[in-house]
Amino acid sequence: MLTPSQIAQAPTWHGEVKNYFTAFDIAQMRSIRGFDLSSYSFVVSHAPDIYQRVSLPPDAQGRMPMDPGTPWSKEMISSFLAWMVAGYPEGEPQHQNKTFLKMSAAPVTGRVRKSLTSLTAEELEKLKTAFTGIMNLGTDDLNGYFQNAAIHGLPLAFCQHHDPGFQPWHRVQMWAFENSLRSIEGCEDVTLPYWDFNELLPDWMYEAPFGSYTLPIDIGTASGSTNPNYKAGYQTNRYDAQTILNNFNADVMKYYANAQTEVWWDNFNGLLDGTPSLDFIAGHDSGHDATGDTMSKQNVSAFDPIFWFYHCNLDRMWWIWQANNDAQSVDGFMKTIKNKSSSSYLVFTNPALGKMNPWAQNLKRDDLTAEFTIDLATNFDVSYESMTLNLPHAQTNKHLFLGMARTFMADNQEVNVRVTDLDRTKIPGTFKVYLLRDGEVLDKSVFFQPDEVEKCSNCMKIPRVHFDFRLPLTAVTGGLLSIRVEPNDKEMYGATVPLKVLGNPTIAVSLLMDAI
Protein backbone atom coordinates (compact mmCIF):
# COMPACT_ATOMS: atom_id res chain seq x y z
CA MET A 1 0.00 0.00 0.00
CA LEU A 2 1.32 3.45 -0.89
CA THR A 3 2.03 5.91 1.88
CA PRO A 4 0.16 9.26 1.98
CA SER A 5 3.30 11.04 0.78
CA GLN A 6 3.23 8.91 -2.38
CA ILE A 7 -0.36 9.88 -3.17
CA ALA A 8 -0.72 13.18 -5.00
CA GLN A 9 -3.80 15.29 -5.60
CA ALA A 10 -2.16 16.73 -8.75
CA PRO A 11 -0.62 13.51 -10.05
CA THR A 12 1.07 12.67 -13.32
CA TRP A 13 1.45 9.26 -14.94
CA HIS A 14 5.20 8.97 -14.49
CA GLY A 15 5.24 10.79 -11.19
CA GLU A 16 2.58 8.87 -9.30
CA VAL A 17 -0.22 7.11 -11.18
CA LYS A 18 1.75 4.26 -12.73
CA ASN A 19 2.93 3.36 -9.23
CA TYR A 20 -0.65 2.78 -8.11
CA PHE A 21 -0.55 -0.47 -10.11
CA THR A 22 1.66 -3.11 -8.51
CA ALA A 23 3.61 -5.68 -10.49
CA PHE A 24 1.12 -8.28 -9.24
CA ASP A 25 -1.82 -6.17 -10.46
CA ILE A 26 -0.22 -5.74 -13.87
CA ALA A 27 0.55 -9.44 -14.29
CA GLN A 28 -2.87 -10.60 -13.08
CA MET A 29 -4.91 -8.17 -15.14
CA ARG A 30 -2.86 -8.87 -18.26
CA SER A 31 -3.24 -12.65 -18.01
CA ILE A 32 -6.87 -12.80 -16.87
CA ARG A 33 -8.54 -9.77 -18.46
CA GLY A 34 -6.10 -8.66 -21.14
CA PHE A 35 -5.53 -5.28 -19.44
CA ASP A 36 -2.10 -3.67 -19.85
CA LEU A 37 -1.88 -1.50 -16.76
CA SER A 38 1.77 -0.70 -17.48
CA SER A 39 0.78 1.21 -20.62
CA TYR A 40 0.00 4.92 -20.34
CA SER A 41 -2.15 4.87 -23.49
CA PHE A 42 -4.13 1.84 -22.31
CA VAL A 43 -4.81 3.33 -18.88
CA VAL A 44 -5.86 6.65 -20.45
CA SER A 45 -8.24 4.88 -22.85
CA HIS A 46 -9.78 2.80 -20.08
CA ALA A 47 -9.52 5.27 -17.20
CA PRO A 48 -13.30 5.57 -16.58
CA ASP A 49 -13.58 1.77 -16.46
CA ILE A 50 -10.57 1.48 -14.16
CA TYR A 51 -11.98 4.18 -11.90
CA GLN A 52 -15.25 2.28 -11.64
CA ARG A 53 -13.44 -1.00 -10.92
CA VAL A 54 -11.22 0.36 -8.14
CA SER A 55 -14.29 2.02 -6.60
CA LEU A 56 -16.21 -1.26 -6.33
CA PRO A 57 -16.55 -2.96 -2.91
CA PRO A 58 -13.72 -5.42 -2.12
CA ASP A 59 -15.95 -8.47 -2.62
CA ALA A 60 -17.53 -7.31 -5.91
CA GLN A 61 -16.94 -9.17 -9.15
CA GLY A 62 -14.74 -7.35 -11.64
CA ARG A 63 -13.13 -5.14 -9.00
CA MET A 64 -9.53 -3.96 -9.06
CA PRO A 65 -7.09 -4.81 -7.64
CA MET A 66 -8.09 -8.47 -7.84
CA ASP A 67 -6.59 -9.24 -4.42
CA PRO A 68 -9.32 -8.20 -1.92
CA GLY A 69 -6.63 -7.66 0.68
CA THR A 70 -5.05 -4.76 -1.19
CA PRO A 71 -7.84 -2.36 -2.19
CA TRP A 72 -7.01 1.18 -3.23
CA SER A 73 -7.43 3.70 -0.46
CA LYS A 74 -9.94 6.53 -0.78
CA GLU A 75 -6.97 8.85 -1.28
CA MET A 76 -5.66 6.78 -4.20
CA ILE A 77 -9.09 6.68 -5.83
CA SER A 78 -9.46 10.44 -5.36
CA SER A 79 -5.99 11.02 -6.79
CA PHE A 80 -6.72 8.86 -9.84
CA LEU A 81 -9.92 10.84 -10.48
CA ALA A 82 -7.97 14.09 -10.11
CA TRP A 83 -5.53 12.81 -12.75
CA MET A 84 -8.45 12.09 -15.07
CA VAL A 85 -10.00 15.51 -14.49
CA ALA A 86 -6.64 17.18 -15.20
CA GLY A 87 -6.50 15.54 -18.63
CA TYR A 88 -4.20 12.59 -17.85
CA PRO A 89 -0.90 14.52 -17.51
CA GLU A 90 2.01 12.28 -18.43
CA GLY A 91 4.69 14.12 -16.51
CA GLU A 92 7.53 13.30 -18.90
CA PRO A 93 7.86 13.56 -22.67
CA GLN A 94 7.11 10.22 -24.26
CA HIS A 95 7.18 9.47 -27.97
CA GLN A 96 4.15 7.55 -29.09
CA ASN A 97 2.87 6.52 -32.49
CA LYS A 98 -0.74 7.61 -32.58
CA THR A 99 -3.20 6.96 -35.38
CA PHE A 100 -5.76 9.65 -36.00
CA LEU A 101 -9.03 9.45 -37.83
CA LYS A 102 -8.82 10.89 -41.32
CA MET A 103 -11.37 13.61 -41.97
CA SER A 104 -12.63 14.77 -45.35
CA ALA A 105 -10.46 17.45 -46.96
CA ALA A 106 -13.01 20.27 -46.64
CA PRO A 107 -15.69 20.53 -43.96
CA VAL A 108 -19.22 20.10 -45.21
CA THR A 109 -21.89 21.84 -43.18
CA GLY A 110 -25.49 20.90 -42.60
CA ARG A 111 -25.61 17.14 -42.04
CA VAL A 112 -29.28 16.36 -42.65
CA ARG A 113 -29.94 12.70 -41.93
CA LYS A 114 -32.81 11.18 -43.90
CA SER A 115 -34.87 8.03 -43.60
CA LEU A 116 -33.67 4.90 -45.42
CA THR A 117 -36.82 4.97 -47.52
CA SER A 118 -36.53 8.62 -48.58
CA LEU A 119 -33.03 8.48 -50.09
CA THR A 120 -32.79 9.50 -53.73
CA ALA A 121 -31.12 7.15 -56.21
CA GLU A 122 -28.04 9.39 -56.18
CA GLU A 123 -27.89 9.46 -52.37
CA LEU A 124 -28.22 5.69 -52.18
CA GLU A 125 -25.43 5.19 -54.71
CA LYS A 126 -23.14 7.48 -52.74
CA LEU A 127 -23.98 5.63 -49.51
CA LYS A 128 -23.12 2.32 -51.20
CA THR A 129 -19.81 3.76 -52.37
CA ALA A 130 -18.99 4.99 -48.88
CA PHE A 131 -19.87 1.69 -47.18
CA THR A 132 -17.96 -0.34 -49.75
CA GLY A 133 -15.01 2.00 -49.40
CA ILE A 134 -14.61 1.65 -45.64
CA MET A 135 -15.27 -2.10 -45.83
CA ASN A 136 -12.28 -2.36 -48.17
CA LEU A 137 -9.95 -0.59 -45.73
CA GLY A 138 -7.57 -2.64 -43.58
CA THR A 139 -8.47 -3.96 -40.15
CA ASP A 140 -5.98 -1.53 -38.53
CA ASP A 141 -7.38 1.56 -40.27
CA LEU A 142 -9.42 3.60 -37.79
CA ASN A 143 -11.69 4.71 -40.63
CA GLY A 144 -12.28 1.12 -41.68
CA TYR A 145 -15.52 -0.73 -41.10
CA PHE A 146 -13.80 -3.31 -38.91
CA GLN A 147 -12.39 -0.75 -36.48
CA ASN A 148 -15.66 1.18 -36.30
CA ALA A 149 -17.57 -1.98 -35.40
CA ALA A 150 -14.89 -3.52 -33.17
CA ILE A 151 -15.09 -0.80 -30.50
CA HIS A 152 -18.70 -1.77 -29.71
CA GLY A 153 -18.01 -5.37 -28.67
CA LEU A 154 -15.20 -7.67 -29.68
CA PRO A 155 -12.34 -7.22 -29.86
CA LEU A 156 -12.00 -3.66 -28.44
CA ALA A 157 -15.16 -3.00 -26.31
CA PHE A 158 -15.45 0.67 -25.38
CA CYS A 159 -19.26 0.67 -25.56
CA GLN A 160 -21.59 1.78 -22.79
CA HIS A 161 -24.94 0.11 -22.10
CA HIS A 162 -27.37 0.35 -19.16
CA ASP A 163 -25.35 3.35 -18.10
CA PRO A 164 -25.82 7.15 -18.11
CA GLY A 165 -23.27 7.37 -20.91
CA PHE A 166 -25.27 5.07 -23.18
CA GLN A 167 -26.96 7.76 -25.28
CA PRO A 168 -23.95 10.15 -25.45
CA TRP A 169 -21.51 7.37 -26.37
CA HIS A 170 -23.66 6.10 -29.23
CA ARG A 171 -24.29 9.66 -30.46
CA VAL A 172 -20.54 10.14 -30.87
CA GLN A 173 -20.27 6.69 -32.43
CA MET A 174 -22.77 7.64 -35.15
CA TRP A 175 -20.91 10.91 -35.82
CA ALA A 176 -17.52 9.16 -36.00
CA PHE A 177 -18.89 6.47 -38.32
CA GLU A 178 -20.40 9.16 -40.53
CA ASN A 179 -16.98 10.84 -40.63
CA SER A 180 -15.42 7.55 -41.72
CA LEU A 181 -17.95 7.28 -44.54
CA ARG A 182 -17.01 10.84 -45.54
CA SER A 183 -13.32 9.93 -45.69
CA ILE A 184 -13.98 8.01 -48.92
CA GLU A 185 -13.26 10.09 -52.03
CA GLY A 186 -16.43 11.48 -53.58
CA CYS A 187 -18.46 10.88 -50.41
CA GLU A 188 -17.45 13.99 -48.47
CA ASP A 189 -21.08 15.07 -47.98
CA VAL A 190 -22.68 11.67 -47.35
CA THR A 191 -24.88 11.40 -44.27
CA LEU A 192 -25.94 8.37 -42.26
CA PRO A 193 -29.64 7.56 -42.80
CA TYR A 194 -31.92 6.42 -40.00
CA TRP A 195 -34.18 3.38 -39.99
CA ASP A 196 -37.77 4.38 -39.17
CA PHE A 197 -39.06 1.33 -37.30
CA ASN A 198 -42.59 1.87 -38.62
CA GLU A 199 -41.44 1.19 -42.16
CA LEU A 200 -40.59 -2.06 -43.93
CA LEU A 201 -36.89 -2.27 -44.65
CA PRO A 202 -36.20 -1.62 -48.34
CA ASP A 203 -35.04 -4.55 -50.48
CA TRP A 204 -31.58 -3.01 -50.94
CA MET A 205 -30.94 -3.52 -47.22
CA TYR A 206 -30.51 -7.21 -48.11
CA GLU A 207 -28.05 -6.51 -50.92
CA ALA A 208 -24.33 -5.70 -50.82
CA PRO A 209 -22.86 -3.83 -49.05
CA PHE A 210 -25.76 -3.55 -46.56
CA GLY A 211 -26.95 -7.17 -46.46
CA SER A 212 -24.15 -8.61 -44.36
CA TYR A 213 -20.49 -8.36 -43.39
CA THR A 214 -17.92 -11.15 -43.14
CA LEU A 215 -15.25 -11.01 -40.44
CA PRO A 216 -11.85 -10.75 -42.15
CA ILE A 217 -9.95 -12.00 -39.08
CA ASP A 218 -10.62 -13.88 -35.85
CA ILE A 219 -11.78 -11.66 -33.01
CA GLY A 220 -10.78 -12.70 -29.50
CA THR A 221 -12.39 -12.30 -26.11
CA ALA A 222 -11.28 -9.67 -23.62
CA SER A 223 -8.85 -12.17 -22.10
CA GLY A 224 -7.08 -12.69 -25.41
CA SER A 225 -8.41 -16.16 -26.21
CA THR A 226 -10.23 -16.89 -29.45
CA ASN A 227 -14.01 -17.15 -29.41
CA PRO A 228 -14.89 -20.12 -31.67
CA ASN A 229 -18.15 -18.44 -32.70
CA TYR A 230 -16.44 -15.39 -34.16
CA LYS A 231 -13.63 -16.63 -36.35
CA ALA A 232 -12.60 -15.19 -39.70
CA GLY A 233 -15.39 -15.97 -42.14
CA TYR A 234 -18.24 -15.42 -39.66
CA GLN A 235 -21.03 -13.75 -41.65
CA THR A 236 -23.60 -11.50 -40.02
CA ASN A 237 -27.26 -12.40 -40.46
CA ARG A 238 -30.67 -10.97 -39.64
CA TYR A 239 -34.36 -11.76 -40.03
CA ASP A 240 -36.35 -10.93 -43.16
CA ALA A 241 -37.91 -7.47 -43.36
CA GLN A 242 -41.49 -8.53 -42.58
CA THR A 243 -40.45 -10.57 -39.54
CA ILE A 244 -38.48 -7.61 -38.21
CA LEU A 245 -41.43 -5.24 -38.67
CA ASN A 246 -43.76 -7.70 -36.94
CA ASN A 247 -41.31 -8.13 -34.06
CA PHE A 248 -40.99 -4.38 -33.55
CA ASN A 249 -44.75 -3.86 -33.54
CA ALA A 250 -45.27 -6.68 -31.05
CA ASP A 251 -42.33 -6.30 -28.67
CA VAL A 252 -40.43 -3.03 -29.14
CA MET A 253 -42.46 0.06 -30.03
CA LYS A 254 -44.33 0.12 -26.71
CA TYR A 255 -41.08 0.91 -24.88
CA TYR A 256 -40.16 3.81 -27.14
CA ALA A 257 -43.71 5.13 -26.76
CA ASN A 258 -43.39 5.00 -22.97
CA ALA A 259 -40.04 6.78 -23.14
CA GLN A 260 -41.40 9.72 -25.11
CA THR A 261 -43.99 10.43 -22.38
CA GLU A 262 -41.32 10.87 -19.69
CA VAL A 263 -40.13 14.32 -18.64
CA TRP A 264 -37.18 13.25 -16.47
CA TRP A 265 -33.98 12.02 -18.13
CA ASP A 266 -33.45 8.96 -15.92
CA ASN A 267 -37.05 7.84 -16.49
CA PHE A 268 -36.69 8.36 -20.25
CA ASN A 269 -33.50 6.29 -20.28
CA GLY A 270 -34.89 3.71 -17.84
CA LEU A 271 -33.41 1.14 -15.43
CA LEU A 272 -30.87 3.44 -13.74
CA ASP A 273 -31.07 4.15 -10.01
CA GLY A 274 -34.19 2.01 -9.60
CA THR A 275 -36.26 3.66 -12.34
CA PRO A 276 -38.69 1.41 -14.27
CA SER A 277 -37.19 -0.74 -17.02
CA LEU A 278 -40.04 0.08 -19.40
CA ASP A 279 -38.53 2.88 -21.44
CA PHE A 280 -35.70 3.63 -23.86
CA ILE A 281 -33.14 1.08 -22.69
CA ALA A 282 -35.79 -1.65 -22.78
CA GLY A 283 -36.65 -0.63 -26.34
CA HIS A 284 -32.98 -0.65 -27.31
CA ASP A 285 -32.41 -4.14 -25.92
CA SER A 286 -35.61 -5.57 -27.38
CA GLY A 287 -34.89 -3.94 -30.75
CA HIS A 288 -31.51 -5.62 -31.00
CA ASP A 289 -33.10 -8.98 -30.27
CA ALA A 290 -36.00 -8.36 -32.67
CA THR A 291 -33.67 -7.71 -35.61
CA GLY A 292 -31.79 -10.97 -35.82
CA ASP A 293 -29.14 -13.31 -34.48
CA THR A 294 -26.12 -11.06 -35.00
CA MET A 295 -27.83 -7.94 -33.69
CA SER A 296 -28.85 -9.84 -30.55
CA LYS A 297 -25.19 -10.52 -29.69
CA GLN A 298 -23.45 -7.50 -28.15
CA ASN A 299 -20.04 -8.92 -29.02
CA VAL A 300 -20.67 -8.66 -32.77
CA SER A 301 -23.88 -6.64 -33.27
CA ALA A 302 -22.09 -3.61 -34.74
CA PHE A 303 -20.69 -5.72 -37.57
CA ASP A 304 -24.19 -6.09 -39.05
CA PRO A 305 -24.59 -3.02 -41.32
CA ILE A 306 -28.14 -2.50 -40.04
CA PHE A 307 -26.67 -1.58 -36.64
CA TRP A 308 -25.71 1.89 -37.90
CA PHE A 309 -29.17 2.73 -39.22
CA TYR A 310 -30.76 1.30 -36.08
CA HIS A 311 -28.71 3.43 -33.71
CA CYS A 312 -29.05 6.48 -35.95
CA ASN A 313 -32.80 6.27 -35.37
CA LEU A 314 -32.27 5.86 -31.63
CA ASP A 315 -30.23 9.06 -31.71
CA ARG A 316 -33.07 10.75 -33.61
CA MET A 317 -35.56 9.63 -30.97
CA TRP A 318 -33.35 11.00 -28.21
CA TRP A 319 -33.09 14.33 -30.09
CA ILE A 320 -36.88 14.43 -30.50
CA TRP A 321 -37.31 13.82 -26.76
CA GLN A 322 -34.84 16.63 -26.11
CA ALA A 323 -36.80 18.96 -28.41
CA ASN A 324 -40.09 18.09 -26.72
CA ASN A 325 -38.63 18.73 -23.26
CA ASP A 326 -36.62 21.90 -23.96
CA ALA A 327 -33.45 19.86 -23.42
CA GLN A 328 -31.41 20.56 -26.56
CA SER A 329 -29.09 22.93 -24.70
CA VAL A 330 -26.88 22.04 -21.74
CA ASP A 331 -28.87 24.25 -19.36
CA GLY A 332 -32.18 22.84 -20.53
CA PHE A 333 -30.99 19.25 -20.45
CA MET A 334 -29.54 19.47 -16.95
CA LYS A 335 -32.95 20.59 -15.68
CA THR A 336 -34.31 17.18 -16.69
CA ILE A 337 -31.98 15.43 -14.23
CA LYS A 338 -33.94 15.56 -11.00
CA ASN A 339 -31.39 13.97 -8.66
CA LYS A 340 -28.18 16.01 -8.56
CA SER A 341 -26.34 13.16 -6.81
CA SER A 342 -27.33 10.55 -9.39
CA SER A 343 -24.90 8.71 -11.64
CA SER A 344 -26.37 10.58 -14.63
CA TYR A 345 -25.62 13.98 -13.11
CA LEU A 346 -22.01 12.96 -12.42
CA VAL A 347 -21.43 11.69 -15.96
CA PHE A 348 -22.83 14.86 -17.53
CA THR A 349 -20.99 17.25 -15.19
CA ASN A 350 -17.61 15.56 -14.64
CA PRO A 351 -15.58 15.59 -17.90
CA ALA A 352 -13.30 12.80 -16.69
CA LEU A 353 -16.21 10.43 -16.04
CA GLY A 354 -18.03 11.54 -19.20
CA LYS A 355 -15.09 11.21 -21.60
CA MET A 356 -16.16 9.70 -24.92
CA ASN A 357 -13.34 7.27 -25.67
CA PRO A 358 -11.83 6.04 -27.90
CA TRP A 359 -12.59 9.12 -30.01
CA ALA A 360 -11.53 11.71 -27.43
CA GLN A 361 -8.13 10.05 -27.26
CA ASN A 362 -7.72 9.28 -30.97
CA LEU A 363 -8.71 12.77 -32.05
CA LYS A 364 -7.09 14.60 -29.12
CA ARG A 365 -10.54 16.02 -28.42
CA ASP A 366 -10.80 16.62 -24.68
CA ASP A 367 -14.13 18.34 -25.34
CA LEU A 368 -15.73 15.07 -26.48
CA THR A 369 -17.63 14.46 -23.26
CA ALA A 370 -21.18 13.49 -22.35
CA GLU A 371 -22.02 17.16 -21.84
CA PHE A 372 -20.72 18.03 -25.33
CA THR A 373 -23.12 15.54 -26.93
CA ILE A 374 -26.21 17.29 -25.58
CA ASP A 375 -26.32 19.96 -28.32
CA LEU A 376 -26.39 17.82 -31.45
CA ALA A 377 -27.14 20.72 -33.80
CA THR A 378 -24.41 23.11 -32.65
CA ASN A 379 -21.63 20.69 -31.77
CA PHE A 380 -22.11 18.06 -34.50
CA ASP A 381 -23.95 20.09 -37.15
CA VAL A 382 -26.56 17.33 -37.40
CA SER A 383 -30.29 17.56 -37.98
CA TYR A 384 -32.93 15.01 -38.94
CA GLU A 385 -35.24 15.16 -41.94
CA SER A 386 -38.25 14.27 -39.80
CA MET A 387 -38.81 15.09 -36.13
CA THR A 388 -42.14 13.26 -36.03
CA LEU A 389 -42.63 9.85 -34.43
CA ASN A 390 -45.46 7.50 -35.24
CA LEU A 391 -45.92 5.65 -31.96
CA PRO A 392 -49.36 4.04 -31.93
CA HIS A 393 -48.97 2.82 -28.35
CA ALA A 394 -48.12 6.27 -26.95
CA GLN A 395 -50.35 7.59 -24.21
CA THR A 396 -49.94 10.07 -21.39
CA ASN A 397 -47.86 8.42 -18.68
CA LYS A 398 -49.82 9.51 -15.64
CA HIS A 399 -49.14 6.43 -13.54
CA LEU A 400 -47.04 6.56 -10.40
CA PHE A 401 -45.93 3.94 -7.93
CA LEU A 402 -48.01 3.69 -4.78
CA GLY A 403 -45.19 4.97 -2.59
CA MET A 404 -45.04 8.19 -4.63
CA ALA A 405 -48.74 8.99 -4.26
CA ARG A 406 -50.14 12.00 -2.43
CA THR A 407 -53.79 12.74 -3.28
CA PHE A 408 -54.52 10.00 -5.76
CA MET A 409 -57.15 7.38 -6.42
CA ALA A 410 -56.50 3.74 -7.22
CA ASP A 411 -56.52 2.66 -10.85
CA ASN A 412 -57.95 -0.84 -10.81
CA GLN A 413 -56.97 -1.45 -14.40
CA GLU A 414 -53.16 -1.65 -14.23
CA VAL A 415 -50.39 -2.92 -11.97
CA ASN A 416 -46.62 -2.97 -12.22
CA VAL A 417 -44.93 -6.33 -11.69
CA ARG A 418 -41.25 -5.97 -10.82
CA VAL A 419 -38.72 -8.80 -10.88
CA THR A 420 -35.91 -7.72 -8.56
CA ASP A 421 -32.33 -8.67 -7.79
CA LEU A 422 -31.55 -10.90 -10.77
CA ASP A 423 -27.81 -11.61 -11.03
CA ARG A 424 -27.12 -11.12 -14.72
CA THR A 425 -23.41 -11.93 -14.38
CA LYS A 426 -24.28 -15.64 -14.38
CA ILE A 427 -25.78 -15.52 -17.86
CA PRO A 428 -23.50 -15.55 -20.92
CA GLY A 429 -24.88 -13.05 -23.41
CA THR A 430 -28.33 -11.67 -24.10
CA PHE A 431 -31.28 -13.26 -22.33
CA LYS A 432 -35.06 -13.01 -21.93
CA VAL A 433 -37.15 -12.89 -18.77
CA TYR A 434 -40.68 -14.28 -19.14
CA LEU A 435 -43.40 -13.41 -16.64
CA LEU A 436 -45.78 -16.33 -16.14
CA ARG A 437 -49.14 -16.88 -14.44
CA ASP A 438 -49.77 -20.54 -13.69
CA GLY A 439 -47.08 -21.39 -16.23
CA GLU A 440 -48.61 -19.33 -19.06
CA VAL A 441 -46.59 -16.45 -20.54
CA LEU A 442 -47.98 -12.98 -19.78
CA ASP A 443 -45.11 -10.86 -21.07
CA LYS A 444 -41.37 -10.90 -21.71
CA SER A 445 -38.40 -8.54 -21.45
CA VAL A 446 -35.01 -8.72 -23.16
CA PHE A 447 -31.63 -7.84 -21.65
CA PHE A 448 -28.77 -7.15 -24.09
CA GLN A 449 -25.27 -7.92 -22.81
CA PRO A 450 -21.88 -9.40 -23.82
CA ASP A 451 -20.95 -13.06 -23.56
CA GLU A 452 -18.50 -12.49 -20.71
CA VAL A 453 -20.26 -10.08 -18.37
CA GLU A 454 -17.67 -10.29 -15.62
CA LYS A 455 -15.01 -8.89 -17.98
CA CYS A 456 -17.12 -5.83 -18.78
CA SER A 457 -16.46 -3.14 -16.17
CA ASN A 458 -19.46 -1.17 -17.38
CA CYS A 459 -21.66 -4.23 -16.77
CA MET A 460 -20.23 -4.80 -13.31
CA LYS A 461 -21.53 -1.42 -12.14
CA ILE A 462 -24.98 -3.01 -12.01
CA PRO A 463 -24.49 -6.79 -11.67
CA ARG A 464 -28.03 -7.24 -10.31
CA VAL A 465 -30.90 -5.85 -12.35
CA HIS A 466 -34.68 -5.53 -12.26
CA PHE A 467 -37.43 -5.96 -14.84
CA ASP A 468 -40.83 -4.26 -14.93
CA PHE A 469 -44.01 -5.50 -16.55
CA ARG A 470 -47.10 -3.27 -16.78
CA LEU A 471 -50.26 -5.33 -17.05
CA PRO A 472 -54.01 -5.21 -16.37
CA LEU A 473 -54.83 -6.13 -12.79
CA THR A 474 -57.04 -8.95 -14.03
CA ALA A 475 -54.08 -10.53 -15.84
CA VAL A 476 -52.09 -11.13 -12.65
CA THR A 477 -54.83 -12.06 -10.17
CA GLY A 478 -56.25 -15.50 -9.53
CA GLY A 479 -53.04 -17.39 -10.24
CA LEU A 480 -49.42 -17.99 -9.26
CA LEU A 481 -46.86 -15.58 -10.73
CA SER A 482 -43.42 -16.89 -11.63
CA ILE A 483 -40.59 -16.16 -14.06
CA ARG A 484 -38.58 -18.11 -16.57
CA VAL A 485 -35.16 -16.92 -17.74
CA GLU A 486 -33.98 -18.07 -21.16
CA PRO A 487 -30.48 -17.30 -22.48
CA ASN A 488 -30.18 -16.74 -26.21
CA ASP A 489 -27.06 -18.93 -26.04
CA LYS A 490 -28.32 -22.18 -24.59
CA GLU A 491 -24.96 -23.99 -24.55
CA MET A 492 -24.17 -23.46 -20.84
CA TYR A 493 -27.55 -23.93 -19.13
CA GLY A 494 -29.81 -25.28 -21.84
CA ALA A 495 -33.24 -23.79 -22.45
CA THR A 496 -33.56 -22.06 -19.06
CA VAL A 497 -31.28 -20.73 -16.33
CA PRO A 498 -32.02 -22.06 -12.81
CA LEU A 499 -33.28 -19.21 -10.63
CA LYS A 500 -31.02 -20.39 -7.81
CA VAL A 501 -28.02 -19.58 -10.01
CA LEU A 502 -29.41 -16.07 -10.49
CA GLY A 503 -29.71 -15.36 -6.76
CA ASN A 504 -33.40 -16.29 -6.48
CA PRO A 505 -34.88 -13.02 -7.79
CA THR A 506 -38.15 -11.90 -6.23
CA ILE A 507 -41.46 -10.73 -7.70
CA ALA A 508 -43.43 -7.78 -6.35
CA VAL A 509 -46.73 -6.35 -7.59
CA SER A 510 -47.41 -2.61 -7.19
CA LEU A 511 -50.80 -0.99 -7.60
CA LEU A 512 -50.57 1.96 -9.97
CA MET A 513 -52.27 5.24 -9.25
CA ASP A 514 -54.07 7.80 -11.39
CA ALA A 515 -53.83 11.49 -10.57
CA ILE A 516 -57.17 13.25 -10.06
The string of pLDDT tens digits covering residues 423-433 is 999 999 999 99
Flag residues of the chain having pLDDT under 50.
1, 4-5, 93-108, 222-226, 395-411, 515-516
C-alpha–C-alpha distance, residues 170 and 287, integer Å: 15
Closest CA to 372 of 72, 165, 163: 165
Contact 485/427 with Cβ under 8 angstroms?
yes
Contact in structure between 418 and 507 (CB atoms under 8 Å):
yes
Domain boundaries, the chain: 4-85, 111-384, 399-515
Return d(Cα 429, Cα 419) in angstroms, integer: 19
Can the peptide bond before residue 107 be classed as cis, meaning omega within 30 degrees of 0? Answer: no
Which CATH superfamily does the domain covering 111-384 fall into? Di-copper center containing domain from catechol oxidase (1.10.1280.10)
Predicted pLDDT of residue 109: 56
CA–CA separation, 403 vs 415, rounded Å? 13
Non-local (6+) Cβ contacts of 159 within 8 A are 151, 152, 153, 169, 170, 173, 298, 458
pLDDT at residue 63 in the model: 78
The per-residue pLDDT for 282 is 94
* pLDDT score, position 174: 98
Contact 314, 256 (CB under 8 A): no
Whether 399-515 and 111-384 are alike in CATH topology: the answer is no
pLDDT recorded at residue 227: 59
**Does domain 399-515 match CATH 1.10.760?**
no
Among candidates 447, 453, 484, which has minimal Cα distance to 286? 447
Chain centroid to CA 72: 28
Q: What is the pTM of this model?
A: 0.79
